[in-house]
C-alpha cells in the first residue's frame, strides 16, 4: 500500500542529516507518532534503514488537539519516547524544525532528564502526590510584580549582552522566588529553553526568523522557552560546548 507520508519522512531524514552537527540530539532517530483519526500512526527509523516506516497503529489514549506538537512515551510502543505531531508538520520547512524540536525532548529523556528531575524537591513532591501534570500546571507567580520586574531585567540584559545585568537580574530572582518557584523556572529554562535554542539554530540554517515567542509580557510558561534559549546563548558564549553537556547546562542555569 502506498504510504502517503513517505515523502515527508524522506525530507525529515534529509534535513536531520543536514543539521547533524548542530546538536548531539541528531545523531539519533526517534519514533514519530502521527495523530490521524484518533489513531497514532507510529513510524520509526529502524537500525540500518534509510527512512522511517510505519511500524504500528494504536488508539490515542486521550483527546489530542489539532496541531499538537509534543513528546511523550508511547505506552503502545514499549514506552518509547516519541515526537507526537499531526501530519500538517510535513506542509512546511518549519514543520520539520518542530519535529526536531521534539526530538530534543526525546534526547533529554533518554540521557539525563529523569536523574536531573529527581534532584529537585518540586519533582519529588509531585511524585509523592501523584501530580503528573506539574510541569504544565505548576502555579508559578508569573504576574507578581517582583517576578515581572526581575525577569524583565533578565531578558533585557540578555538581549544587550550585559553580563553584569544578567548576574544582577538572576540575583533579584533568587532573592524573590521560593525554592519550588526557582526550581520550576530553572527546569523549564533547561528543558524547553534548550529545545527552543536548538530550534532557532535550525531556523537560521533555513534562513527563517528565530522563534521569539514568550519574550514579551505578559509572562507565562512559554517565557521560560525564550528566556532559557537566550540564557543558553549567553552561557554558550563563555563555553561553546555547554549546550552539548546537558547536566552541566542544567547546573549552570540553576546555580548561576
pLDDT of residue 1: 47
Same domain, 208 and 241: yes
pLDDT averaged over every residue in the chain: 96
Q: Is 118 exposed, middle or buried (0-12, 13-18, 19+ CB in 10 A)?
A: exposed
pLDDT of residue 2: 54
Q: Does the residue 248 lie in any domain?
A: yes
Same domain, 91 and 167: no
pLDDT digits (tens, 9 = 90+) for 140-186: 999 999 999 999 999 999 999 999 999 999 999 999 999 999 999 99
Q: List phi, psi (to 5°) of 69.
A: -135, 105
Residue 55 domain boundaries: 6-110
Distances in Å between the alpha carbon of 166 and those of 173, 176, 232? 11, 16, 12
pLDDT of residue 63: 87
Which of 78, 110, 142 corresponds to the end of one domain? 110
Task: Please state whether beta strands 53-59 and 32-36 pair in parallel, antiparallel, or not at all (unpaired).
Answer: unpaired
pLDDT of residue 46: 85
pLDDT tier for residue 187 given thresholds of 50, 70 and 90 = very high
Same domain, 125 and 92: no
pLDDT digits (tens, 9 = 90+) for 12-41: 999 999 999 999 999 999 999 999 998 999
Same domain, 217 and 169: yes
* 42 pLDDT higher than 80: yes
Q: List phi, psi (to 5°) of 86.
A: -100, 160
pLDDT tier for residue 4 given thresholds of 50, 70 and 90 = very high
Q: Does the residue 188 lie in any domain?
A: yes
Same domain, 97 and 203: no
The domain total for the chain is: 2
Amino acid at each position: 500500500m502506498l504510504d502517503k507520508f513517505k515523502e515527508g519522512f524522506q525530507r525529515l531524514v534529509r534535513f536531520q542529516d543536514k543539521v547533524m552537527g548542530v546538536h548531539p540530539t541528531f545523531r539519533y532517530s526517534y519514533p514519530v507518532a502521527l495523530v490521524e483519526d484518533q489513531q497514532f500512526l507510529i513510524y520509526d527509523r529502524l537500525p540500518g534503514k534509510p527512512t522511517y516506516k510505519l511500524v504500528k497503529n494504536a488508539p490515542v489514549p486521550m483527546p489530542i488537539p489539532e496541531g499538537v506538537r509534543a513528546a511523550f512515551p508511547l505506552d503502545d510502543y514499549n514506552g518509547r519516547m516519541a515526537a507526537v505531531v499531526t501530519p500538517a508538520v510535513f506542509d512546511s520547512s518549519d514543520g520539520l524544525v518542530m519535529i526536531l524540536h521534539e526530538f530534543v525532548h526525546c534526547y533529554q529523556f533518554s540521557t539525563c532528564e529523569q536523574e536531573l528531575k529527581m534532584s529537585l524537591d518540586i519533582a519529588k513532591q509531585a511524585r509523592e502526590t501523584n501530580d503528573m501534570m506539574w510541569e504544565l500546571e505548576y502555579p508559578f507567580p508569573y504576574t507578581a510584580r517582583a517576578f515581572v520586574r526581575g525577569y524583565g531585567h533578565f531578558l533585557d540584559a540578555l538581549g544587550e549582552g550585559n553580563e553584569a545585568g544578567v548576574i544582577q537580574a538572576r540575583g533579584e530572582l533568587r532573592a524573590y522566588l521560593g525554592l519550588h518557584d526557582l526550581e520550576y523556572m530553572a527546569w523549564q529554562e533547561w528543558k524547553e529553553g534548550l529545545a527552543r535554542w536548538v530550534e532557532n539554530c535550525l531556523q537560521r540554517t533555513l534562513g527563517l526568523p528565530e522563534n521569539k515567542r514568550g519574550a514579551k509580557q505578559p509572562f507565562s510558561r512559554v517565557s521560560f522557552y525564550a528566556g532559557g534559549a537566550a540564557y543558553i546563548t549567553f552561557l554558550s558564549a563563555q563555553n561553546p560546548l555547554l549546550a552539548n553537556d546537558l547536566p552541566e547546562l542544567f547546573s549552570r542555569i540553576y546555580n548561576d
